[in-house]
Amino acid sequence: MFTSRITRLGLISFGLLSCLLCVEASDTNSRPASLDEIQTLFNLVTVGPQRQRVVADITSYETKWSEEQIAMAIKQQNEMLPDMGRLPEAEQRDRTNAVARSHSGIQILHVQEWYSGNLYRLDQTDEGMVSQRYITNHPGTYKNSFVDIDDPALSPYRSFRVDHQLRDIQWSKTTLYAKNDLWRALGLDKEVVLPLLVALADTKSFPQGRPPTDADSDMLKLDTAKAEMIHNGSDPIWHLEAIAESGQEGRTRFILRGRIMSLIQPYEESDQEFVYVVGQVGQRPVCLEASVTNYTTHVSFFSTREDFDSQGFPHVWKRTTVTLDSPAKQIDVVFKEVELNATFDDRQVFLPVFATNYIVSDVTSGKAAILQNPIHSVKRNQPETDVNLVKRLIILCVLGLVPLWLGIRLLRYKGNKPT
């Protein structure tokens, strides 16, 4: 009952907000978007992941997990690794508390992201997975790193993950980790890119023989014939209008309507409306607001960008998604550092040298094949070494299982989502 009320309030609030925005722009009659405006809007589609480094805090708000959901997560962990269910009672409490903290309704992530073509690195500390003492004692550092290499010229492995607290490294020749895609703050949210791509892109500019990736964005070209049809209203699927924002010089609201596959659950072809509010920062066009209203599945999405720097990069980015029969989910990003056209060395960032006190394993097969074991470098006349290593491995399983499980779920989701 309480969840249902939250859902209805979220939908009502989003609807009222949309109405207010429409009222603000209603002083000026809508008109067909000009060809120059269509080109400007399409230019935002071609913004891709530049060579950059960003530091940010990500705060997400969603429904707190119930005791039943926490118990189900522990059960799923035990099914994946039966030995986990036989750990001592104290370790079992640690596991349960770790799951509860990571799904407490508010999640705060301190992140650093690196982009270089298809190379990607995420350094992250999840406040729900560490103690406050750890955060205080390790300023400027991160607990975990997730790296996608996916370049055989650099490494036979596609990815690796590191737990710096537990000194554990796991390589994989098959896994790729999901990305936060914070670079999209410079262009458009992924939820509103696809319709413009379908409606306006010249398919001949797509890479041949493979699906396009984000790194291919700057290759995409506008199909002038498609743009002319949308401009003169003869396109059978898409309708685009422009409205000058009342009292907001240099701001234009574009409303695109059509039928397309939804990028928000449920994933199905739907009648949708996409809104883009575009302004100028210096010489760069920027997206100030974006929204999606799905009239078929009753799903809504809204995004705002604020506090732009001279490069047109916002330092505040807020995104809210409302789905039917579910509470609204909000993600707020506050950027602390933005380094566009960064000059870091790829090998130093994406291929770090591992210290001898780290456990290094290959998990490609689903089972850990040890590549480096610190116990081999320790003299055998230290009788507590084996015991301490076993304890550390147990702690590794306890604290590292939740993010590993979530990573697997993300990978399954990424593999199943429509392209």
Q: What's the number of CA atoms in the CB half-sphere (13 Å) around residue 10?
A: 25
What are 380's two structure tokens? Answer: 């055998």
Q: Do the domain assignments include residue 202? A: yes
Amino acid 285: pLDDT: 94
- For residues 47 and 187, is the Cβ–Cβ distance under 8 A? yes
Q: Do the domain assignments include residue 332? A: no
Please provide the distance, in angstroms rounded to a whole number, between the alpha carbons at the two ends of the chain. 36
CA distance 162 to 403: 11
- For residues 328 and 302, is the Cβ–Cβ distance under 8 A? no
Q: Domain of 234?
A: 2-36+189-319
Give the global pTM: 0.76
pLDDT tens per residue across span 44-91: 999 988 899 999 999 998 777 788 888 888 888 888 777 777 788 887
Amino acid 18: pLDDT: 45
Q: Do the domain assignments include residue 349? A: yes
Residue 23 and residue 118 share a domain = no
Residue 161 and residue 72 share a domain = yes
Residue 29 and residue 103 share a domain = no
Residue 21 and residue 75 share a domain = no
Q: What is the DSSP letter of 369?
A: E
Residue 173 and residue 193 share a domain = no
Q: Is the pLDDT of residue 19 over 80?
A: no
CA distance 206 to 224: 15
| More confident position, 404 or 319 | 319
Residue 166 and residue 229 share a domain = no
pLDDT tens per residue across span 328-337: 899 999 999 9
Residue 125 and residue 79 share a domain = yes
Q: Do the domain assignments include residue 391? A: yes
CA 351 to chain centre: 22
Nearest to 274, CA basis, from 330, 193, 332, 345: 193
CA distance 67 to 57: 28
Amino acid 28: pLDDT: 55
What are 363's two structure tokens? Answer: 């998990």
Burial state string for 310-319 with b = 16 or more CB within 10 A and e = fewer than 16:
eebbbbebbb
Torsion angle of the four alpha carbons 231, 198, 250, 247, in this order, in degrees rounded to the nearest 10: 80
Residue 140 and residue 31 share a domain = no
Q: Do the domain assignments include residue 325? A: no
Least confident of 103-107, 317-321, 343-347, 389-393: 389-393
Residue 223 and residue 199 share a domain = yes
Place of tokens 């290094």: 360
Q: Do the domain assignments include residue 165? A: yes
Domain boundary residue among 260, 285, 319? 319
Residue 78 and residue 116 share a domain = yes
Domain boundary residue among 319, 354, 373? 319
Q: Do the domain assignments include residue 225? A: yes
What is the tally of structural domains in the chain? 2
The interaxial angle of helices 190-200 and 224-232, nearest 10 deg, is: 100
Other Cβ atoms closer than 10 A to 164: 16
Q: Give the CA angle between residues 401, 407, 412 to the nearest 5°.
A: 125
What are 244's two structure tokens? Answer: 């000058």
Amino acid 1: pLDDT: 35
Residue 97 and residue 11 share a domain = no
- For residues 99 and 65, is the Cβ–Cβ distance under 8 A? yes
**Mean pLDDT score of the chain, rounded to an integer?**
82
Residue 302 and residue 277 share a domain = yes
Q: Do the domain assignments include residue 330? A: no
Amino acid 377: pLDDT: 52
